[in-house]
Each structure stands twice: as structure tokens, then as C-alpha cells.
A and B are shown apart, each in its own frame.
Chain A
Amino acid sequence: MRHFLRNSLTLARKEWISLLRDVFMLGFVVYSFTFSVYSQATGISHELRNAAIAIVDEDRSTLSQRLASSFHGPEFQTPATIGHAEVDPAMDSARYTFVLDIPPDFEADVLAGRSPVIQLLIDATAMMQAGIGAGTIQGIVDDEVGRFVRREADGSAAPVSLQVRVAYNEALDTKWFTGTMSVVSNITMLAVLLAGAALIREREHGTLEHLLVMPVRPAEIMAAKVLANGAVILGLTLVALYAVLRGLLSVPLAGSVPLFLAGTALYLFFATALGIFLGTVARSMPQLGLLFILIVLPMNMLSGGFTPLESEPEWLQLAMQLSPSTHFVAFAQAILFRGAGFDVVWPRFAATAGIGALFFAWSLARFRRHLASFR
């Protein structure tokens, strides 16, 4: 056992030196945990921002103009005024996501209490904006028209009041979510890639074979790779959490970071073992890249870090329970967003460790066979 540890550590040290000298890979890893996290967090916004809206004003009244001027940044671009004939081509080419059609005599009808109808055309192919935008526009129109007829929107008439509180992220700031989830998904991607590449590099350079003529066991070689690459990822995760998320993006980390890191360490056993497994299947780095696209990318996308798991078909949700990445995403969200403690997340930890250990053992067996079948 002492021997095992010493050999593994010796080999792990060698892995670190190798990684330090591999400028391309090192650059890619550092980029993934810093710049890439930042750009993903600030890039895609799930909020309504800068939405393109046009107005067909057939009324040309004070009210219609007041309506037009009530759409402004940051949610909306300044509305364009277009004619009826332009509506179809403009929406067909996705120039506007929303078109508000104010009918003739709108103001007069409002004042007469005839409750006229305004039409809002929504480009329902712009999924992310269409839903949120429609609600926002509804609110703006109600407010503006209400204010115009000098009647407050009639909240007091409701028999039951509703108090809605959004927990954990009150302002619904999307960069909390996208930033944190990009750290989580990069942990998976980079751990697999680093471990797989480390194996393939040794095989291509013939050094793996060289190790095998020395008093070193396959388990020690694999342990060294898991240990060395896992530690690098864990260290960079810490940087990403504190420097990028908390520092640059001011995302609060709700729960215990040590607890999250402990869980990540458990998960890394699985992720690096998966990398080594793929490394035994792929004959070269480009093949590893292609396998990565076919296996790791889907696994990552379906784990609930991008879109909610419950939106997937039932069978897929069940199947994804077999992947530790799903549990990893779940406990990451629980700890980092909701401040959950060990009492809450332990079942996820157990699942990650259990499935991870099985896969690790299987991977090791395959690695042994792979070394044995060496040419």
C-alpha cells in the first residue's frame, strides 16, 4: 500500500510536469475555467434585453404614441413604426420578434369604455424571448392604458392577494445560473479531456510501454492520472469559483464551498475514469475528439445543467439517473444556489460515488486489458 501510494505520487508529479510543459493544453484548461466561464455568464442572457419590436399604428392618437414611447431599453429597442404591408416580410426574416397592432379609433374606443382589442403578433420561433416578452408587453400595455384613463389597475378588487417570492436568486439574475453551470459543465469536459489526452500522449510517445517494463502496476499508472488531472481540475475549480464567479461576476456562493469541492472530488473519480476509458477506445487524439462529441457532449447537455431535467421525456430522465453527471449537476445546484448542507445532498453524493466507483473499477479492468493487448 505504501509502495502503491509512493509510485502513484511519483508518477503524478511527472503528469504535472508534462502538463506544465504542454502549453496548448494548459492554455486551453486555464481558458476554460476563466475566460470561457466569464463569456458564457455574460453572453447568453435569458432575460428580456434589447428585444426587437415594431408598432403598426392605425390610430395615430395621443394614447397610441404614449404606448409606443413606453417601450424602451434595456428590455426593448426603440420601436419601429411600420405599415401593415411590412409586417409579414419583416417577421418572416426575423427582423422583429414582436409587432403591436393598434387598431383605428383605439383611443376613442378606450375613452368610450368599449374595451377595444390590440393585437400583439409574436414570433413564436424565438422561444426564449417570446414567452417572457409577451408577459412584459401585456403589463406595459395594461399600465399605460390604465394610466391614460386615470384608473389604477384594479388590484384592490382581487379577493385573494398573492405574495410571490423567488427564493435563492431574487433578482433572477441569469449570470448566476449560466456562470455556475458553465463551471460545472467545464469540470466534466476538461476532466475527461485531460485524462484521455494524458493516456493517448503516453501511448503515442511510447512512454506507456516504457513504464510497463519497470516495477509499476497498471493500477498505479491509472491512479496517478486520476490523481494528477483531478487535482488540477479541482484547483482550477476553486479559482473559477472565487476569482471569476464571486470576484468578477459577483455571484454569491450560497452554500459551503468545501462541501462542493468534496463532492466534485468524488465526481472527478468518475470523470477522469471516463477519460481514460475513452483513451483506451480512441486510437489517436482526433478520434478522442470525435468520441468526445458523440459521448461527453450529449451527457453534459442532458444532465440538467442547461435546461431543466424534468422537461426531458420520462425515459430519458430515468436513463440520465445512471450518469453521475446528473447527480453532480443536482448537488452543485443544491449547494451553490440553495445553500444545501450535507444532510440534504448526501443521497446525490452517494449516487455519484457509487456509480463512479463501479465505472472506475470497470475502466481499470479495461485499462489493464488494454495494456496487455499492447502491440
Chain B
Amino acid sequence: MTPAPAVSLSGVRHRYGGTVALADASLDIAPGTSVAVIGPDGVGKSTLLGLISTAKKIQQGSVRVLGTDVSDRHGRAALQPRIAYMPQGLGRNLYADLSVAENLQFFGRLFGLDAAERRRRIADLLESTGLAPFPDRPAGKLSGGMKQKLGLCCALLHDPDLLILDEPTTGVDPLSRRQFWDLIARIRAGRPGMTVLVATSYMDEAERFDQVVMMNAGRLLAHDTPAAVKARTGAADLEEAFVALLPEDAKRGHQRLTVPPRPPEPAGAEPAIEAIGLTRRFGDFTAVSDISFRIGRGEIFGFLGSNGCGKTTTMKMLTGLLPASAGEARLFGRPVDATDLESRRRVGYMAQAFSLYGELTVRQNLDLHARLFDLPDADTRLAALVERFGLSPYIDAVADRLPLGVRQRLSLAVAILHEPELLILDEPTSGVDPVARDQFWRDLIALSREQGVTIFVSTHFMNEAARCDRVAFMNAGRVIAAGPPDELRRQQRADSLDDAFIGFMEQAEGAPPLNHPIPPLPPGERVGVRGMHSEDSRERAVAPPPHPNPLPGGERGYSTRRLLAYAWRETLELRRDPVRLTVALLGTVLLMLVFGYGITMDVENLTFAVLDHDSSPESRAYIEQFDGSRSFRTTPPAVDARDLALRLQRGEASLTIEIPEGFGRDLRRGRIPEVAVRIDGAMPFRAETIQGYVAGLHQRFIQDAALASGVTLPASPATLEMRYRYNQAFRSLDAMVPSTIGLLLVFIPAILAALGVVREKELGSITNLYVTPVTRLEFLLGKQLPYIGLAAFNLLLMVVMAVTLFGVPVKGSLTGLLLGGLVYVVATTALGLLISVFTATQTAAVFGTAIVTMLPATQFSGMLQPVATLEGGAWLFGTLFPTTHFLKISVGAFTKGLALPELLPFILATAAFIPVFLALGVAFLPKQER
């Protein structure tokens, strides 16, 4: 009887918008087998693995993993501790700012391992993967190969039954690649029951697997053992088999590529490129170390190496994009000079990623470059290129929406637009399918052989390297070997260029030969990875701990341990991000200063200008009133009416006073002279206040004058006695500072909390939420905790500033203020989390949160205008926003002198927001990718 399959798919379809990623996939994988899914980029490999790993939500069809239907939420929760998933991209599910050990600790906590268990398993895994010497190195600073090993450690930490690896070796150097697969093989030997499912775009790697699944355009082309697939198609290797299995229209008349021999170079010709001791350092890191080579005209020169080995840096130095730290680069006998615009016309460059304008159409891109190169007969040249590269069907399509292969052709067309003598191409074919890749190479070969263009190309595909006239192997910033491909192979007596590369790498590093890639394990009891230790064991098995699952803390439902794991990790990250940390710690302080000093409703230091036509003692006494007031400040008297008007217009005076001729005389004779005051109404609030001041000063003058002449003015029938409560001096600061605290404690904590979640979405580590047992509430609360702490610190800081710097005392209950503040920041950070659930990018999170918090906080929460005066929607919005209620606490405790019992209702109202925001956040946060 055959055992139940470990993975079983039937009729699975998946689409993104209008694009079909999977069209009717059905597949059974037996337990304990190793399966490689192969195919170029964008054929649906990642979608397939994402569905199996429970990271993606199923749209159509059924997926059963280890006997569990993954469309069931509870089933997934029980399943997740038994599977491990490593998403595509170097270290994509790792945290770059965390060290090797911290990353492992985090995953251990997420799967509920206790401290002792974690220590033991982590030590074993580090030892067996060769990472043990670097426990404190940040994951972001590891090489590609080491990152992937760390990712594997994190995946194996909880001892899964199904291991899913999505392109784990893309961009990794050949030696590390081989070591990685050896490691997998040993793990499988130790745990024969484990099923391993791997996607890769290096088709040759699939040879080592029990079974291979070939995919193209969302369909499964074949599923069989590698030998059977090759036998069926009569192909020598899997790549050929793949091309043979493609439907006819996808082959586009594909045929084997041959490279015509290169015509001999004329003797004594200047080389196209000459590098002499070229070196580049970034800080104390040497990216390229003392490399030298010569490339003749018309030659195709290949540059091979892993990600981060210095290929791109070398190319940038040759183009002049990057100055060399030492050594010299010469193009056509002339030193590379970044400021020499003319030399740029002789070189065409294609950067690693697509670097044309994605938002421009094909025609606009070509046209832009033709103009910048100032080509004389641009139209004919463009027409010829469009024809030659088959771009006419896409001519008005936006570049971003083109298939990858077409985009590469467009890039090449742009690079040779100005007919350069030298082409520098940085990994031009990564991710492109084999058929399109061959087409691309046909174009390159034609350029070299027919037009004599020198081509300097980097790649990580060995079969492409084999087509070059000469290749250079690069590793860790050095060229370790260079020469014609066949000769390099002969030198190492290797069957393939891959093996030759590894041979040279080992030579260069003085490393032990491949059968000792990993230091032996120390003896002793081991759980997680156990080796049968012996001095020269090649067969060391990596064994699991005694099964069965479930793990001790792989508990379902709520777990404080997982919550704290997220909180701990978030804190570490925040501590290592200077910009976010600065904003978190000092943002409120800075803005508090600005708001405290900047937004003031006090109207003072008003400038006024006088035109005194009278110059009598009485007129001077009248002016004296203004001069003596604290609110006004005099400017030199005006000479005439025009001058007076101009003063107002220039803004030099906020009001002007014109006293008529005979003012004093009229006053003495009991006639009523008229003083004309003009106020600058540009700022209505200020003008209105000035009106009040002027009326008051005028009244006082009249009273003084009456008193002086012994007249008693009739008493008014009633007097209005005004009592300014809470703020007798009517000082703007006393009202604004408490409000500002409320504003800033929603603004900055909400933005930071929102960024915290959206960052994970953008960087890809959100996958850990999808595929590990952590629940949404644990995730959100864990993320929130550090920001609550920071915001509480900011609250303290601002209260201290208010009291000491601005002189606004806490007249009421300090306990009430701090308690209310704490409750408030829990609510505002929860609001930030809620917003983050709806935003996809960090940019949207920053600006979205800023708008969503600033508008209601300034307009509807009683900061400038009492909520009691708002109507309709504005009132409702204000009442349903936490700031409204905190402002009552803050203003109440600072200025109104309220005691704790009086503040309590407001504190409770603020607290009511917390469960609502969190519940909404949990409800709308997807636990699976769509």
C-alpha cells in the first residue's frame, strides 16, 4: 500500500488580477521524497510553494498537506508547526538588523521552544552549518551563501516534517551552493521521513533530487525522476529537456546556439579595456581587491561570481560611475574619466536591474535616449532597432508591463542606440527564460562578430559563461582565474565549468577539499541535529530529535511567549535604526518647541505708525496710551498720508493712527474730534484682537480725560465682571502646551507603529506571520509594546518640558495625567497598527497616518475650536477620535487643576478606544497572502 501523499494538489488555479499564475495544477508528492520544481522566473513556482506552505490563500482547487486541508483555519494552525518555509530572495524571512543568534532566538521563541531547548538546538545547527564562528554578525552583513544557511537553520529549528525552500541558491556562489545541497542531503539522511520541496531556476541542480517538476506559464510540463525526463526527451541535460518539453509556440523556432570563432585581433591594437590593480573600498570593506585584466577589441569577456563578489563594483568603475580607490582603468587606451562626456558615447551600459524608465513607453524610452545622445538621424536609427529587436508590437506599451525578456531586449536596444564600441552588461539575463536567453545571446554574438563590438558581460549561468571567448572567475573581490572556458576546465581537470570554478575557489581559499566542507561536530547529546561523530565521516547524518511533535510550546491559541518574541525583536530593530530612533526619541521634543513657540494665540508686539497732524500735548497723550501698552510697539511717525498707507501695505505696521489737526483745541473746547485708526485685516484673528485693544485704550483715554476735567461720567446700569477661569493671565502657552502634547502623542507614535508593520510587508518578513503559529493578536500586540514604551517616555519628556521650559505647571493630578497619557498612547499606537493594516507601502503608511491623525487632531478635537461648537460630521468625528478625550485629561490636569476622580471619566473614555482599534486591526489583518 502506498502511503498517503505528503502534499496533494488537485485542480489548483491562482491568478493575480488578470494574470494567471497557476492554471489547473494537480500534483501528489510522496512523503520522504525530495522534489525540485524547475522553470524560469514568473512561471508560478513561488505561487505553488506559497500555497503549499500556507503563506498564500487558496483561490481555487484543493491543497492537502500532511493530511490536512489547508483551507481550514484550525487545520492550518495545527499544521504550521510541522512545516518550514523559506521564501524566495536572499534572507527574505530574516531580519537584517538582527544578528545570527538573535534571528535564531526569535524563531525559536515563535515556535515555543524554551530557553534551554533553544540554546541546545541553536548551538547544534550553527555548528553543523559552519555559522558557529559568527553568532553576533548581523544577518544583513552575511554573504549570500551564509544568509541562506542561516535561513535554513531558522527553518529547521522547530524540526519540521515538510521543508519548503523557494530558490534557496539563486545568487549564491557555486561553492556555497554545493555546500548548501550537501547540507540538505545530510539532513535528509538523518531524517528520512522529511519531505523536501525546492524551487530552483538552476536546472542542473535538479539532478540531485528524487523527482523533478517542470513548470512553464502556470502549467506543469512534467513530473518524474530526472533520468526519466531526460530519457523521454532524449536530452543530455535538464535544460535541454525543458526546452524540448515547451509547447511549440513558446520555442519560437529555438535552435542550438553556436558561437563562430573570433577573427584574430590585429597586432599592436590598443585593448578595449585594461584594468591595472583596480581596487575599491567602502569604509573598511574591500569590495574589489587589486584586479587586473585586458580585454581585446571585439572580444566577449565573461565575468562570473556570486552576488556581492564585486562584479557590479568593477563594472561601475569601468563606466566611471564609481571612482577607484586604487589602481587604474583604461578604455581604448585612455584613463576612465567620470567628467569626460565624450567617452560616454563610446560605451553602452546595462545595469543589473532593469534601469530604464518603467513608467515610460518603449517609444518614449528610446526617444529620450536618442535625444540625450543627440543622434543626428535618430528616426532611422530607432526604426532599425525596433525592427531588429522585434519591439514593434510593444512600441506604445509601458515598459513596466512588458515581459522580462522583452524588457531585456529593450535595455539592450537602448544600450547600443548610440552605436558604442564597448558594451558593459551586468547580469543581463538573470530571471529570463532559456529561450529568451538564447535569443539575447544570439544578439550579443552578432554584435561582437559582425560589428566588432567589445562585450564585457557578467553572469551567474555557467552555460552562458561557456559561450564567452574568455571568462574570469571572481570571488570575494578577487579574480581567482581567467582564460578561455575550455582551458580553465582543463586546468582543474573538471567536467564542467562549475566544478572548475569550485576548484579555483578552493585553491584560492586554501580550503579543504569538498568532502570536508563542514567542521566535525563535537561529541555529546544533541537534539535537532545529531551527528554520528567520527574523524573523517563523510556520511555524517543530521538527525532530528525523537519525534513526535507537537513541541512543548507550539501551543495553539494565545501565547505570551510569541507576543514577547515579537516585542523583543521590534525593540532590537528600532534600536539599530538611527532615523526611526531619532524621530521616536526627539521628534516630539523638536515639534513641541516649534508648536509651543510657533502656534500662539497671543497677539503682542504689534507695530503701529502714527500720523499726528496736531502735535499738541493732548495728541501726544493719546499716542502715549499706545506707546505705554505692552501689546504695542511704536515705529517712527509717518510724514504724510501716503507714507502712512504704505506702512500698512508693506506690513511694517499692523495699525495706523491718524490724529486730525486741532485735536487738542477741539478737545479743550468740548468739540468732538475724530481719530482715524486703520487696522491691517490680512490676518483676521489678529485684526479682531487689535480692534478690542484699541477700543480699550481709547476708553481709558476718555476716562482719564474726563477725570482730568472733573466730569463724572454716568455710571453704567450694570457691570459685567469677566473671570478668565483656569488661565487668569489668558496666556496662550497654558492652553496650547497641554493640547500640543495630545497632538504629538497621536501623530508620532501612530506613524512609528504603522511603519513597524508595513516595513515587514515591504521587506517580506511578514511571511513569518503567515507560516508560523503566531496569531494576529500576538503579532499586533508584540509590535505595539515597544512603541507604547517609547511614547510613554515621550509623554514624560514633554511633561517635563512643559513645566520647566514653558512654565506651565501641572495644577491638578499628575497621577491622572500620566495614567491618562499611558492609556492614550496605547490607543494611538493601536490606531497606527490599524492604519498599517490598510497600507501596503511605508510611504503610504507615513503620509496616510500623518493625514489621518493630523486633521482630526487639529480640527475636530478641541485643540483650536471647542468640540462643543462643532456640528454634524465634524462633531461625530471629534467624539469618535481619542485625542478629543485626552485633551480633556491634559488640559484638565495641567490648566484646570482637576483631581484624579474628576479626570477618571475622560480616562475611561480614552481607554474604550483600545479594544475597538485592536479588534478592527485583528479583523482586517490577513493571516495569509492573497
Interface residues of A (CB under 8 A from B): 3, 6-7, 10-11, 13-14, 17-18, 21-22, 24, 28, 43-47, 49-52, 77, 89, 91-97, 106, 109-110, 113, 115-132, 134-135, 137-138, 141-142, 145-146, 148-149, 151, 154, 157-170, 172-174, 176-177, 205-207, 209-217, 283-287, 289-291, 293-294, 297-298, 301-302, 306-308, 310-313, 316, 330, 333-334, 337-340, 344, 372, 374-375
Contact = CB atoms under 8 A, between A and B. Distances in A.
Given A215-B342, A294-B587, A375-B322, A149 B717 contact: yes
9 contacts: A44-B859, A96-B868, A115-B718, A122-B723, A160-B672, A167-B680, A169-B684, A174-B684, A311-B605
A215 B372 contact: yes
A170 B678 CA distance: 10
B1 interface: no
B720 interface: yes
B20 interface: no
Q: Which A-B residue pairs are the 8 nearest by beta carbons?
A: A289-B846, A169-B681, A124-B727, A286-B842, A206-B355, A52-B868, A337-B682, A124-B724
A308 B755 CA distance: 35
Contacts of A51: 866, 869
Interface in B889-904: 891-892, 895-896, 898, 902
Contacts of B725: 91, 121-124
Given A301-B598, A330-B651, A141 B718 contact: yes
Given A3-B374, A158-B672, A338-B682, 17 more contacts: A14-B368, A17-B364, A22-B359, A43-B859, A45-B865, A51-B866, A52-B868, A89-B902, A115-B718, A162-B677, A167-B648, A173-B684, A289-B850, A306-B598, A307-B601, A330-B651, A344-B650
Given A126-B735, A163-B674, A339-B649, A93 B906 contact: yes
Interface centre among A91, A176, A286 (most CB of B within 10 A): A286
A10 B676 contact: no
Nearest to B894: A125
A261 to B, nearest CB: 19
Given A10-B368, A51-B869, A92-B896, A308 B598 contact: no
A164 B694 CA distance: 9
Interface size of B as a range:
35 or more
B395 interface: no
A188 B700 CA distance: 44
B866 A97 contact: yes
Given A21-B398, A117-B718, A214-B372, A123 B726 contact: yes
B160 interface: no
Contacts of A157: 713-714
A134 B693 CA distance: 13
Given A160-B673, A308-B683, A206 B353 contact: yes
Interface string B574-610: 0000011001000100110011011111111111000
A168 B682 contact: yes
A118 B351 CA distance: 81
A269 B904 CA distance: 53
Contacts of B602: 311
Interface in B855-904: 858-859, 862, 864-871, 888, 891-892, 895-896, 898, 902
Interface string B462-478: 00000000000000000
A213 B372 contact: no
A145 to B, nearest CB: 5
Contacts of A205: 353, 355, 357-358
Contacts of A11: 368, 372
A10 B605 contact: no
A23 to B, nearest CB: 10
Contact of B735 (A6, A116, A125): A125
A97 B583 CA distance: 36
A200 to B, nearest CB: 9
B641 interface: no
Interface of B: 282, 316, 319-323, 338, 341-342, 344-345, 347, 349, 351-360, 364, 368-369, 371-374, 398, 579-580, 583, 587, 590-591, 594-595, 597-607, 622, 646, 648-651, 654, 663, 667, 670, 672-689, 691-692, 694-695, 698, 701-702, 705-706, 713-728, 730, 732, 734-736, 738, 748, 751, 755, 841-847, 850, 858-859, 862, 864-871, 888, 891-892, 895-896, 898, 902, 905-906
B356 A207 contact: yes
Contacts of A93: 888, 892, 905-906
Interface centre among A44, A132, A158, A290 (most CB of B within 10 A): A290
Contacts of B674: 160-163
Contacts of B727: 124-125
A67 B255 CA distance: 99
A172 B683 CA distance: 8
B684 A172 contact: yes
A44 B865 contact: yes
A106 B718 contact: yes
A118 to B, nearest CB: 5
Interface centre among A13, A130, A284 (most CB of B within 10 A): A130
A210 B355 contact: yes
Nearest to A52: B868
Nearest to B731: A124
B360 to A, nearest CB: 6
B717 A313 contact: no
Given A214-B373, A289-B843, A298-B591, A94 B723 contact: no
Given A97-B868, A124-B730, A286-B842, A297 B591 contact: yes
Contacts of A293: 583, 587, 591, 748, 751, 850
B677 A128 contact: no
Contacts of A307: 598-601
A122 B722 contact: yes
A298 B844 CA distance: 21
Contacts of B713: 154, 157
B898 A92 contact: yes
Contact of A160 (B398, B675, B678, B735): B675
Contacts of A21: 359-360, 398
Nearest to B590: A294
A128 B865 contact: yes
B313 to A, nearest CB: 8
A134 B723 CA distance: 10
Interface centre among A115, A210, A298 (most CB of B within 10 A): A210
Given A94-B867, A164-B677, A344 B724 contact: no
B692 A129 contact: no
Contacts of B679: 164-167
Contacts of A17: 357, 359-360, 364
A217 to B, nearest CB: 7
Contact of B722 (A77, A132, A138, A291): A138
B464 to A, nearest CB: 22
A97 B673 CA distance: 39
Given A285-B842, A338-B649, A316 B888 contact: no
A7 to B, nearest CB: 6
Given A46-B688, A167-B678, A215-B341, A128 B364 contact: no
